[in-house]
Structure 1
């Protein structure tokens, strides 16, 4: 009996289709059944594949002559397709801050409403204000307990803090403000000593002169100076803390802001 296994059912190639056809290439291999039912022989269809064009669009940026793979997304890459990055793979804009070993710097404008600004190891500045005003049911020392808890939370969430700078006020408009400032400064310096963190008080005139060019700049000028650097301070307390952090960056860290 003549066993002819070269009929259409033996050599039919299965063609899978989907809703979105990306390529018209047929399968690269087909099975040819042999007399031995325990095994199969694979026939190479290389000649057939060579004559079948592919409809995939390739990355158009191939000016450097580098062999590139098909790119269905058409999303431009920082590197040629198939080419390894040169050195470290950096996001755009990160080259200036990679491998920094700068300490985390905290700057404070002390008061019942305290302005704060933090300069991270990566050079990112974050700022804000926080109120330590007591309500009628709280004693006078509660504001300082809240202040210490605020420092602890900053040190955990944004630290470890390496340096602290605060605005050194030598003249107050009222007795209450003077008492509050003295209490905050005492707790801040004691906290820094306990945490083994370097700290320094910077005169108000020095901060204002660095930010605006005038040692007696008013609140509006300080807010405008912060906005000119791209920040949106909520009040003059936050603006003063931002001015202080830029002074510390240039005068103590040796960085150009």
Structure 2
């Protein structure tokens, strides 16, 4: 099973587990003031396609489900990226699931209100060196998803009595 996790935004964090190897990064979708209004979404969709070409065995996608944004622009960008992501998943018959920010933070740090620096520190304690908080968030979500899928796999291997 290959798992892709995303922290959606103009600076999108991503992580993937494929073949027992974890790769991650942070991708910028900032555009110039001269770009058309849809360019960042087009760039995001093209990037998703390039991920699919590089990691052809993606079997599930998890994304950070943000329920509160600090500004209108952030909310619009997140909503647009989410729309493009879910349409992309549907077009590739990939299951997808949002996970609340507090759930991810509680899982990785033990505190649902943990700071960005606490999440980064927790990821560093696992041997990773994220380039920014977006990559750290996507890695935290990947560890959450791995734990969730491991528990599901363990449950499915139980015999019914």
**Fold similarity call, TM over 0.5:** yes
User: Which 4+ runs in 1 deviate beyond 2 A?
Assistant: 252-256
CA RMSD of aligned residues (A): 1.3
Correspondence 1:119 to 2:119: no
The C-alpha deviation readout for 1:6-61, integer Å capped at 9, x for no partner, is: xxxxxxxxxxxxxxxxxxxxxxxxxxxxxxxxxxxxxxxxxxxxxxxxxxxxxxxx
* Residue correspondence of structure 1 range 30-49 to structure 2 within 5 A: none
Aligned twin of 1:219: 116
User: Structure 2-normalised TM-score?
Assistant: 0.92
Cα distance in 1 between the residues matched to 2:59 and 2:82? 18
CA displacement at 1:161 relative to structure 2:
1.1
Give the number of aligned pairs.
Answer: 153
Question: Equivalent of 1:247, from 127, 134, 144?
Answer: 144
* Residue correspondence of structure 1 range 1-257 to structure 2 within 5 A: 103-120=1-18, 122-254=19-151
Structure 2: unaligned runs, 5 residues or longer: 155-161
Could you say which structure has the higher helix fraction? 2
CA displacement at 1:136 relative to structure 2:
2.1
User: Structure 1-normalised TM-score?
Assistant: 0.58
Cα distance in 1 between the residues matched to 2:112 and 2:56? 31
Aligned twin of 1:18: none
Q: Which gives a bigger RCO, structure 1 or 2 (Cα 8 Å, sep 6+)?
A: 2
Could you say which structure has the higher strand fraction? 2
| Structure of greater Rg | 1
